[in-house]
Amino acid sequence: MDKVVERFLGYVKQHTTSDPDSESFPSTERQIVFAEKLVEELKEIGLDEIMLDGNGYVTATIPSNTKKECPVVGFIAHVDTSPDFNGENANPQIVKKYTGNVLDLGESGVKIDSKEFPEILNYIGEDIITTDGTSLLGADDKAGVAEIITAAEYLIKHPEIPHGKIRICFTPDEEIGKGADKFDVKKFGADFAYTLDGGEIGELEYENFNAAFAKINIQGRSVHPGAAKNKMVNATWVGHKLIAMLPPSQRPEHTEKYEGFYHLLSFNGTVENATIKCLVRDHDAKKFKAKKELLREIVQMVNLEYGKELVKLEMNDQYYNMREKIEPVKHIIELAKNAMLIAGVEPKVRAIRGGTDGARLSYMGLPCPNIFAGGHNFHGPYEFVPVNSMKKAVEVIVNISKLVTEMG
């Protein structure tokens, strides 16, 4: 199990950030470079049916070692890291036997203080991997990649552990909502799967947000400010007005659990033109629909105020709550719970305040709940992952693989 740490430390040094503005698939060539290295590693371990396709998906098989007829289970993780923060030149460091003190990550000046991140106190006495504060760590989701490959190697080296056919896949572009765009469910050939893309140890998730992406373009009118009265229309002020009309209480920083939100991703502009990018999220389908409708109404109100269509809204759904697709196969949740209990991990069934490839895959015909990978504070320099959490994730994968043989 110690090899999961060695793998992870190597993986996070590979720059694999995805690019939301790219028109290629995958969005960055660096993801392909990393995928090619994973292919070579899988060959060395001894997996079968190893393939890197033209879209950047790595797939492989751990052959069955039992005569029992049982379902084919899959394990999935994504190779890209979030473009929300620098992912290049990651410099991971291990804090041995964390004492509960403030973690000074180095010359960057970044500190992980339990007053701001109280969950870190759950890992007193454990080894913790952090960044040096200049980049994100990449536990989302290279911890998942390392855990799946380590579990695969363990199963191959321990043929006494019975398991059926197991499929694994590493996907690109999950962080920009495209990870399942070109996933071939039929070719993958699993009856159900799990993404290793969750947070703290014990997380087991089969509910996620309904999600939409909104892009708002504002056309202003630039006039010399000395002669602007009744002539100038400042696109940035129009954008400010629009944003201010969204409910302040429905922002990510003011919501939790099943509360949805509007998340302002970016606001760029001049007097002449401005662009707003926004995420709309809610677990409840009716509330999700209402949030989108409110945004449309606000755009209409602003246009009515100015007497012309200054503001144009483009809004597209990204993914939906997987609960609808998991409920009919709820036994795969019980399977994961049992696998955790055998590993000495308390299952924490909760809703994802986000999304995973599994959400879209579930709607594509592959039921795919999400299991913890162990990390915390994703998408920024405060990210950390306890070593023991990664090791336990490996155990859970192995346990699921074994328990599937009892489903035949």
Quickly list DSSP for 101-139: S-EE-STT--EE-TTT-GGGGGGTTS-EEE--SSS---H
Backbone φ, ψ for residue 22 (5° rounding): -80, 145
* DSSP string of 183-247, one letter each residue: --HHHH--SEEEEEEE-STTEEEEE--EEEEEEEEEE-B---GGG-TTT-B-HHHHHHHHHHTS-
105 close to 131: Cβ distance less than 8 angstroms: yes
Placement of tokens 């192995």 in the chain = 398
Among the options 153, 173, 174, 203, which is catalytic?
A: 174
The span from the CA of 113 to the CA of 194, in Å, is 32
Does 317 participate in catalysis according to the annotation? no
Of the residues 80, 200, 203, 282, only one is catalytic, namely 80
Q: Quick one: which of 355, 235, 247, 233 has its CA closest to 295?
A: 247
Reference 139, options 214, 77, 209; nearest CA is: 77
Q: What is the token pair recorded at 68? A: 């029992």
354 backbone φψ class: left, alpha, beta (φ>0; ψ -120 to 50):
left
Pairing of strands 311-319, 370-372: unpaired
Is 173 known to be catalytic? no
Give the active site residues.
80, 174
